[in-house]
A and B are shown apart, each in its own frame.
Chain A
Amino acid sequence: MAELFIQQRFYIGAVLLFTIGLATLFLHPNLIKKIIGLNLMDTSVFLFLAAMGYIEGGRAPIVTLGSETPAYINPVPGGLVLTGIVVAVSTTALFLALTCRLYRKYHSLNLDIILMRAKEEKEDHGQ
């Protein structure tokens, strides 16, 4: 069992990272920390994909011409991680921009306080 855990250590690390990110997303009322949690989840997926592509003793997929062909690692997960990184950067930038706007309006990063002030404002307009 312990051997299996050591063998699959990268996958297990990815799962732990994912869980930490998920818990951060749930438990922190601070919006920036929520974004950090989301980024942790992204990173765990990248780690998982990169570990999937590895082949024992494989080299980076830069093909050497001519001579015998050595074992290369799988290039497909590399491309997928690239896609994932770009999407993660885009979503993070968008979230941060929205958080900026929220902060400008409500002067707080705490989600509960933001919701409180938003409701307060709505009520003040209602009367």
Chain B
Amino acid sequence: MMKHDGKPQHLFDRFMRWAEGEDPNQDREVAEDPERAEFIEYLEYIDSHEFLDFGAYRLMRYRERKAKGITQPLPHSSGQGQSVVISQSRIPGRRYRPGRLRSLIRLYRIASIFVAIVMMVTLLGVVLVMPQFGDPDAPAVNEVSERYLEQGVEETGAINAVTGMILDYRAFDTFGESTVLFAAAMSVILLLRHPGRPAATEGSGDLILHRMGMLILPAVMMFGIYVILNGHLSPGGGFSGGTVLGCGLILSALILGRSRMEILLPSKRITKLTVICLLAYGVMKGYSFFTGANHIGWDIPKGTPGAIFSGGFLLPLNICVGIIVGCTMYTFYTLFAGKEE
């Protein structure tokens, strides 16, 4: 496949070559063609606005066909079905009327700006009559959040109310989130992985990157692990800590290069790790929901709130989520950093 640049300048050159008639079949007196003048003017318009649409495409196809001497109906003609006779060098109908496409483009822009402004005015109107920012009596601050804050410590064992909420009261929601992330990773793998292609992008031999990366990497990893493990005690948790871990993995891939990283942490192992963590999450949360809802009494000991081993399953759940997120971030990196052929 020919390598094209998407820039309007190149397309312009391509059109111009068509228009200039490099094709030997084309007769040379097109120079006085008023349509051609319009065509060139239109191309200049495209060039200055960095915008291309089907008008240019149709015109290009028309030129091409004219050069080949084909007198078939034009593509995407509006259903008249009559063939275009080249000798009468009139382009039929409304489609090449001067300035029509230009006005259509302008109409599209005006319409989209109009829609955006209508949306903004509506939302602003709503926002201005909403309860005031920071109002403690706003309807959003209702018994649900009170319950989470007051009973959360006894019921979940986590002093971080957000973690208690997302990993206990709303754990199925978080399970869905992790599944969405996993599904996205799988889709990206399906879309971007080339099985035959070797892992490209060797680590750069840059000394500064290497030394500084080696210096920073342990701190990054340590911080990620800290955030994950203290998710039920302090701000953070599986998602934020997992992102930090993923960044650490990406940094190490930058330092070591992909081939060495592939030995250290093969992509198959990453996928397996993600699946295992997802399953572990489902099993643990299913267990606690099942036994909790049925009052069987096989509760997980909650421990003393505030200690690191407290909150029942919250700590392992946070670890699972952290591993899923970190692995997914790293997977995204490896797939998007793959070398273009």
Contacts and interface: CB of A to CB of B under 8 A. Distances in A.
A79 B197 CA distance: 40
Interface size class of chain A, counting residues whose CB lies under 8 Å from the partner chain = 35 or more
Interface of B: 1, 3-6, 11, 50-54, 56-57, 61, 75-76, 109, 112-113, 115-117, 119-120, 123-124, 127-128, 130, 132-136, 138, 140-141, 144-145, 148-150, 152-153, 159-162, 165-166, 170, 173-174, 177-178, 180-181, 183-185, 187-188, 191-192, 233-235, 239, 305-306, 325, 332, 335-336, 340
B133 A7 contact: yes
Interface of A: 4-5, 7-12, 14-16, 18-19, 22-23, 26-27, 29, 51-58, 60-65, 69, 71-72, 74-79, 82-83, 85-87, 89-91, 93-94, 96-98, 100-101, 104, 106-110, 112-113, 115-116, 119-120, 123
A51 B131 CA distance: 11
A7 B132 contact: yes
B124 A54 contact: no
Given A7-B133, A82-B166, 8 more contacts: A5-B128, A54-B134, A62-B159, A79-B170, A83-B177, A107-B4, A108-B4, A108-B6
B56 to A, nearest CB: 8
A12 B120 CA distance: 9
A58 B134 CA distance: 9
A88 to B, nearest CB: 10
Contact of B124 (A10, A15, A56, A74): A15
A18 B123 contact: yes
Contacts, number: 189
A98 B112 CA distance: 25
A90 B120 contact: no
22 contacts: A11-B127, A12-B127, A16-B120, A22-B115, A26-B115, A26-B116, A52-B138, A54-B134, A55-B135, A71-B136, A78-B165, A79-B165, A90-B183, A93-B185, A97-B188, A100-B191, A107-B6, A112-B51, A113-B6, A116-B56, A116-B57, A119-B54
Given A94-B184, A113-B11, A83 B173 contact: yes
Q: Which among B1, B61, B177, B306 has the highest number of chain A CB atoms within 10 Å?
A: B177
